[in-house]
Amino acid sequence: MTHPFQQRLVEGLAQLNLPLTIPQQQHLLAYLDLLSKWNKVYNLTAVRDPAEMLTHHLLDSLTSITPLRRHTQGEPVQLMDVGSGGGLPGVVIAVCCPEINVVCVDAVAKKAAFIQQAAVSLALPNLRGVHARVESIADKFEVITSRAFASLSDFTQWSKGALAEEGVWMAMKGKHPDEELVALPADVSVFHVEQLEVPGLDAERCLIWMRPR
């Protein structure tokens, strides 16, 4: 039985020029179902409609995959998704990039528990959910990402203790955050900003790449 959103996912992937295997596509749709199911009880996201989840969450998060792959060059890296909520983009990255170890950190216990459940349900050995404040994380990560989490200044300051040497921050944002960029502390430098196009979503999105100065 085909998933009701399979065609829309396939079309979205084509628009993003992002080739994924059939099992990866099935994992993403199973994740969408899981998110939708848990959301009824645990309030993981304000988006309630599964069709909207597909564009606003799944396809939105998928826009980060090609830039991320370009950065990591297929190398196995440690990545932390801060304030991951329902696992966006962390779970999506774990599905699409099996070589990347993804740790989703959230200060809300039920959200971290959901990530752990997703890792088990989707059989993703490279995914784990951690219930913690990001400032308390002692491990080191080559890439630290967030999506609609906090201001760029707070995001980098709270997580800088977990950034590996030569590590980078990759922040998913809506429209170009001019004020946040101006407010960045002197020890953080922006080395790349790229515009993202989300299939089926008429909204501004961009990716801000930063590193310590």
Give the total number of structural domains in the chain: 1
Q: Would you say residue 27 lies in a domain?
A: yes
Q: Would you say residue 123 lies in a domain?
A: yes
d(CA 207, CA 194): 5
Query: CB of 60 within 8 A of CB of 18?
Result: no
**What CATH number is associated with residue 83?**
3.40.50.150
User: 2: pLDDT confidence band, cut at 50, 70 and 90?
Assistant: confident
Q: Would you say residue 1 lies in a domain?
A: no
| 56-113 confidence digits (pLDDT tens) | 889 999 999 999 999 999 999 999 999 998 999 999 999 999 999 999 999 999 999 9
In this model, does residue 143 exceed pLDDT 90?
Answer: yes
d(CA 112, CA 95): 17
Question: Looking at the whole model, is its pTM more than 0.75?
Answer: yes
Q: Would you say residue 139 lies in a domain?
A: yes
C-alpha torsion sign, points 130, 132, 135, 137: negative
In this model, does residue 46 exceed pLDDT 80?
Answer: no
The two beta strands, 163-173 and 188-196, are unpaired
User: 186: pLDDT confidence band, cut at 50, 70 and 90?
Assistant: very high
Per mean pLDDT, which range of 34-38, 41-45, 105-109, 203-207 is the poorest? 41-45
Structural domain range at position 143: 6-212
Q: Would you say residue 15 lies in a domain?
A: yes
d(CA 190, CA 98): 27
Residue with the two structure tokens 């932390």: 80
| Mean of all residue pLDDT scores within the chain | 94
d(CA 91, CA 53): 14
In sequence order, what DSSP letters do the residues of the chain get, joined into one string?
Answer: ---TTHHHHHHHHHHHT----HHHHHHHHHHHHHHHHHHHHH---S---HHHHIIIIIIHHHTTHHHHHHHHTT---EEEEET-TTTTTHHHHHHH-TTSEEEEEESSHHHHHHHHHHHHHTT-TTEEEEES-GGG--S-EEEEEEES-S-HHHHHHHHGGGEEEEEEEEEEESS--HHHHHTS-TTEEEEEEEEE--TT--S-EEEEEEEE-
